[in-house]
Chains A and B, each alone.
Chain A
Amino acid sequence: MLELKNIYKYYNPGTVNEMCLFKDFNLTVKDGEFLSVVGSNGSGKTSMLNIICGSISIESGNIILDGKDITNAKEFRRNEKIGRVYQNPALGTCPSMTILENMSLADNKGKKFGLGRGVNKQRIEYYRELLRPLNLGLEDKMHVKVGSLSGGQRQAMALLMSTMTPIEFLILDEHTAALDPKTAEIIMELTDKIVKEKKLTTIMVTHNLRYAVEYGNRLLMMHQGESVIDCAGEEKAAMNIDDILEKFNEISIECGN
């Protein structure tokens, strides 16, 4: 279970450009929840993910993961339990290393990076098995550098790599936004499959309202650092795109857009 308690976040504090994003923001994500987050630009979606992962600091408040306060834990320490896929496919892989080397790196997460061989030959077949269901032909390109793959192929790898070792939390930061509609669809189906198979607690930020409606069992709409829609279970299942769009327009009119 992940809890964000009384989060306060200011940008440029102490200057004329000071901007308050979160004012007493609270969120609880229960184990096994697949939370889709939508909202306009600047509503605080990505900032929320960055706060959870520790990429940005907060002014006050507590972040509690499985009962442990991780508010002051460093980003790389939090990543022991958190996997994250970014919008930019280049951020999830190493371009100058081969597919095999990338998979080996990810496979070793949580273990010691010592002087043992980087690639465990016995695991190669396992990596191939992981890559085969993607139907991207990656299993036959184990010695190809990831830098020469397409964005969709890299994102698929990034998703596999971030979920390869046992993690408790999966953070998806608009991970289909940079992909063409067809590839995005493939990546989204893969995401759903992995999340269900591994029973991962997931937070997915997306601008695609259809994905937000179709996938996940809880939906959150954010606006100016607050959640304006938060529904789960049957209520979420009954939601459709028009409901969300309506709320979106309501907010936009308030803002004068």
Chain B
Amino acid sequence: MDFFITIIEQGLIYGILALGVYITYKILDFPDLTTDGSFPLGAAVTAALITRGVNPYLTLPIAFVAGALAGVCTGLIHVKGRVRDLLSGIIMMTALWTINLRIAGTSNVPLFSKETIFKNNFLAGLFPDAMGSYSTLIVIVILALLTKVVLDFYMKSKSGFLLRAVGDNEKLVTALAKDQGNVKILGLAIANGLVALSGCIFCQEERVFEISMGTGAVVIGLASVIIGTSLFRNLTFMKATTSVVIGSVLYKACTAVAMKNFEPQDMKLITAVLFLIVLLISMERKKKVKINA
């Protein structure tokens, strides 16, 4: 039972990351590698704040803003500096490694004895002891659901329409007398904000910040997006954001099951191989050649 709860917990946390990747990969058509840096950025900011005794719930918006700033940087490099999309992400991802170390102080910050969004006096009073083992799951479900609903709402707003239009047809955004570059920067900001938010929740759930925790984050995100969107392609009533979050849980389940038969050091290889299998099955590669660039 614990095994399933952990899968759902981590799947939903990565689901928030996947929502960010969904914005860049599916909506903006931008292969954004900043993700690998902004995920630990959210965690680094969180670790730094929590060790200084800041209210853990405040870490959520602060991590989002930090990630959004990273996204803005990637966007500026790409739009104003005219560096191609893939390289802009790589530059930011590399730069963020140092920035994350500087923010966190060291490459490993344990948070075991600290108050987190999952373990504090407020929650302890809210949930009776019998539900104690589910409290983490409940908090994660609420956060994931809230993020999804807010994102859905945004996508239906005028600004969201413009964001969807820019990935579809840049010329139309220009025709609407809007700077398509700024819309892209906004999209990257929201996407990386979500990724950092996911990193913030992840580090509080794991109770540790690790500098290398972002390695492969973009692969997890992409796999979740592709599993979700291709698996539920024919269910038109289902929102893409829902598919993506479910895709993330499914992907987490796949890796967890695979990991049962392997050593921990095989993790990344399994992640990569599973992603390849997902790609081959969904035939996504035929439509999206750009990611190979």
Contact = CB atoms under 8 A, between A and B. Distances in A.
Interface stretch (B45-53, B62-70, B155-163, B248-256): B155-163
B177 interface: yes
A97 B161 contact: yes
B91 interface: no
Contacts of A92: 172, 175
Contacts of A101: 161, 164
Contact of A116 (B157, B169, B172): B157
B288 interface: no
A76 B177 contact: yes
A105 B162 contact: yes
A190 B172 CA distance: 21
Interface of B: 154, 156-162, 164-165, 168-169, 171-180
A81 to B, nearest CB: 9
Given A74-B179, A112-B158, A115-B154, A105 B165 contact: yes
B177 A118 contact: no
Contacts of B157: 114-118
What are the 5 tightest A-B residue pairs by CB atom distance, in nearest-first order?
A118-B161, A94-B168, A80-B177, A113-B158, A79-B177
A76 B169 contact: no
Main secondary structure of the interface of A (DSSP, over half): loop
Contacts, number: 79
Contacts of A114: 157-159
Contact of A76 (B159, B168, B174): B174
A80 B157 CA distance: 21
A75 B173 CA distance: 11
10 contacts: A74-B179, A79-B176, A96-B164, A105-B162, A105-B176, A106-B176, A112-B158, A113-B161, A117-B156, A118-B158
A109 B176 contact: yes
Contact of A94 (B159, B164, B179): B164
Given A105-B162, A113-B161, A117-B158, A77 B169 contact: no
A109 B169 CA distance: 15
A167 to B, nearest CB: 10
Contacts of A71: none
Contacts of B179: 74, 76
A51 to B, nearest CB: 15
Nearest to A115: B157
Contacts of A119: 156
Contact of A109 (B159, B171, B177): B177
Nearest to B180: A76
Contacts of B172: 91-94, 105
The winner among B169, B174, B175 for most chain A CB atoms within 10 A is B175
B174 A113 contact: no
Nearest to A79: B177
A95 B165 contact: no
Nearest to B165: A94
B167 to A, nearest CB: 8
A112 B174 CA distance: 14
A112 B179 CA distance: 12
B161 A105 contact: yes
Given A105-B162, A117-B157, A83 B168 contact: no
A79 B174 contact: yes
A108 B156 contact: no
A201 B168 CA distance: 29
A169 to B, nearest CB: 12
A74 B179 CA distance: 9
Given A116-B157, A116-B158, A95 B169 contact: yes
A76 B154 CA distance: 24
A162 interface: yes
Nearest to A120: B158
Contacts of A93: 169, 172
Contact of A86 (B159, B165, B171): B171
Nearest to B169: A94
Interface string A103-144: 011101110111111110000000000000000000000000
B168 A97 contact: yes
A119 to B, nearest CB: 8
Contacts of A113: 158-159, 161-162, 178
Contact of A115 (B158, B168, B178): B158
Nearest to A77: B177
A192 B287 CA distance: 39
Interface in A133-166: 162
A218 interface: no
A76 B177 CA distance: 4
A162 B177 CA distance: 11
A96 to B, nearest CB: 5
Given A90-B169, A96-B168, A162 B161 contact: no
A105 B160 CA distance: 10
A9 interface: no
B177 A91 contact: no
Contact of A95 (B154, B159, B168): B168
A74 B173 CA distance: 13
Contacts of B177: 76-77, 79-80, 109-110
